[in-house]
Structure formats: structure tokens, C-alpha cells
Amino acid sequence: MNNRLGALLAAFLAISLFFVFKVPDFVSPRNLSLLMIDFAITATLAVGMLLVILPGHIDLSAGSGVGLIGGVSAVLMSNHGWHPAPAMFAGLGAALALWWAMGSLIVRQRIPAFIITLGGLLVFKGLFWLVIGSHTIPISVGGKPNLYSSLTTFYLPPLAGYALAAIIVAGMIVSTISGRTQRVAHGFPVDDGELTFLRLFIAAQMLILFVLVTNQFRGVPLPAVILGAVAFTVWLLTQHTPWGRHLYAIGGNEEAALVSGVPVERATIGAFTLMGAIVALTGLMQTAYGGASTTTIGELMELDAVAACVIGGTSLKGGRGSVLGVLFGALIMACLISGLTLMAVPPEIKYIARGAVLIAAVWMDVKLSR
């Protein structure tokens, strides 16, 4: 995994340097801040996709769900006068119910996730267009900002950004020391102390640099904070809970996991249900970023999420993947799209580039797995 992350870091640096050379504005504070919003929205959905891929499934309905949930909340606000908070929670509740139902069908009826979620893609897309009437539904009533629109327009004040960075660095240090202590106590090998320090030092530098750059524009964007909370939660669940270990075990060998007493049905349905919550959150952010719910919201986002997972080293067969790898994969995709946009590359070339990166990532995954 360390070799894979090193390769991802090298790829990210190579892509970034290429665009810095071709388009100097790529590293401007404004573009980097907007890049972080795009990255945060895609990465949030990709982290959710990791949850359903780990047990060996996939969700092709995520993009349509992003549009549907954002559209439901927007219609409740604009057409029915709901307050943003209950409208957003209504969308969240709908997503939880829909993804719980899909997970139940997949597991209890033994129907392939590909078929169920492909059907969900079509059903949700149709429902989305019906809900918004194939019109543009604004989310700012009377042109005034609200809780919904602030999801992508709010920025942390500079001091709050530095305080948050300090808290995260402190948490990383405490977590690393605690993990090393526990591994030593149980007789497990640990990484060299100097190497561990170097990793923490580089991570802290990158985090502080991120805050410094974003503060030159408006501050740390709220979507980046939301992504951090989602990524930390999923990392905690997958790495430090029995449920997370169950997901890896199911993806590794479902029959062996079942014989070993792993609650396969409950763990998998739980993964899909949590995926629904993340789809809802992504849908709210994506709709807020666009300023309105339109028929194109969420289009092909499920493919970007899958691409981020595969590029980050997640096996589509299940049983292997990490939150950090997914974040790197999403960052590479976001940098690629942002750089091509600044170069004024036609949309068709963007699609070709994204597809080529995905194919290359799958090829690399197959080669490294042999």
C-alpha cells in the first residue's frame, strides 16, 4: 500500500507540475480554492463508494441520486416554502430509505448490485426530472443566501482555519502515538520512528500550506471541512470497528466470512444505508454549488467516484481499499479536470482524458495485483 500511495503522490505531483507550467493560474489562490470545492464534492461521494465496493458491490445509481436528493430539497424550499433545514433533512431521510431498500434487495434477494443500482440509476433519473419538472429550481429564495446555499459559499475565517489545522495535527500526533503504543504492547512490528515523524511532518506541512493558500482568497471552504468530517468518520468505521473489519472480510471471501460468523446481511445493508447518507450530503453540496437544481446535476458523478476509488487502489472485487487512497484518487481527478478547464480544452477531450486515466488505473491495479 505504501508503494501505491507513493505512486499516487508522484502522479499527482507530475500532473500538477504539468498544469503549473502550461497554465500559471492553476496555482492561484482563487483557482485552488475552487479546486478544493470540486475535489471535496467528488471525494465525499467517492468515500461513500468505498463503503459499498469493500464488500464486493458497486453503486451505479449514486450520480442520479445526487441529482434527485438535491432536487427534492430544492423543490420543498422553492415551491412549497419549507425552511432549508427540514427540506435538507427530508432529502436525507429519503436517501436513507432508498439506499436501505436497495441494499436489502441486493443482499436478501441475492440480486447483483450492478443490476439493482443500474435500475436505480434510471428510476432516480426519471424521478429527479419529474420532481423538478425538467426546469431549473433555484435554492436561494428571493436571491438571498440561506443555509442550503451556504454549503458551498461559506468560508472559515482565517483564525478558524488555523485553529482547525492545529486540532487536526494534534489529533494525528495523538492517534499515531496511541497506535504505535498498542502495536508495541501486542508485539506487532511498527514503522521506524524517523519515518513516522517524517510522514507526520509532511502531512502537517501540507495541511498548513492548504490553509495559507485558501486564506489568501476567502478562507477554508466549508465543503473541505465537510469532506474532512466524512473521511475521518469512514476511516474510523473501516479501520477501528468490527463493522469495518466485516466489510473487508466479506469482500475478501464472502463464504468464509459467513462461516466465520460475520453478519454479512447486516454489514452490507449498513454500508448501502451509509452510502445513501453520503449521496444525500453530496447532492446538497453539488446543488448548492450550482446555485440551482437542474437536469444535469449529478450526471456521471458515480463514474468519477468509482474512478477515484480505483485510482486510489481500491479493488473492484472487494476486500481492499483505504480512505487515504480514495482521497488521492479524487484529488488526481479534480486536478486533471481543473487543469483541462483552464486550458480551455473541449468537453469531448475531457471525457477522453478521464476515461484514459481510469483505464490506466485499472491496468495498473491488475499489474500490481499479480
Query: What's 232's domain CATH number?
Result: 1.10.3470
Cβ–Cβ under 8 Å, residues 214 and 220? yes
Average pLDDT over residues 35-45: 94
Residue in this structure with the C-alpha cell 507540475, named with its chain if needed: 17
Provide the pLDDT confidence category of residue 200 given band limits of 50, 70 and 90.
confident
Among 175, 191, 218, identify where a domain stops.
Answer: 218
Can you say how many angstroms the Cα of residue 154 is from the centroid of all Cα atoms in its chain?
19
Structural domains counted in the chain:
2
Task: Tell me: pLDDT of 265 over 90.
Answer: yes
Q: What stretches of the chain show up as alpha helix (H) in DSSP?
A: 2-22, 29-53, 62-78, 84-108, 113-132, 150-153, 158-185, 193-215, 222-240, 242-252, 254-259, 264-290, 301-311, 323-342, 347-369
Cβ–Cβ under 8 Å, residues 249 and 56? no
221 forms beta bridges with 155
Q: How far is residue 264's CA from residue 251's CA, in Å, rounded to a whole number? A: 10
Provide the pLDDT confidence category of residue 178 given band limits of 50, 70 and 90.
confident
Give whole-number Cα distances, 8 to 89, 312, 319, 327, in Å. 36, 7, 20, 10
Kindly report the CA angle at 250 between 245 and 252, in degrees rounded to 5? 95
DSSP class of residue 141?
G
Q: How far is residue 88's CA from residue 356's CA, in Å, rounded to a whole number? A: 36
Average pLDDT over residues 194-219: 84
Residue 137 sits in the same domain as residue 14: yes
Range of the domain at 300: 2-157+219-369
Kindly report the CA angle at 167 between 285 and 42, in degrees rounded to 5? 25
Instruction: Give the three cell numbers for residue 334.
Output: 479534480
Q: List, for residues 125-177, the tens digit of each pLDDT value.
A: 999 999 999 899 998 766 677 889 899 999 999 999 999 989 988 888 888 88
Among 202, 218, 234, identify where a domain stops.
Answer: 218
Q: Which helix (H) or strand (E) holds 138?
A: strand 137-138
User: What's the pLDDT score for residue 324?
Assistant: 86
Residue 13 sits in the same domain as residue 85: yes
Average pLDDT over residues 37-56: 95
Provide the pLDDT confidence category of residue 251 given band limits of 50, 70 and 90.
very high
Provide the pLDDT confidence category of residue 280 given band limits of 50, 70 and 90.
very high
Residue 170 sits in the same domain as residue 316: no
Number of residues assigned to the chain:
370
User: What's the pLDDT score for residue 126?
Assistant: 96
User: What's the pLDDT score for residue 229?
Assistant: 93
Q: How far is residue 351's CA from residue 327's CA, in Å, rounded to a whole number? A: 21
What proportion of the chain, given as a percentage, has pLDDT over 70? 96
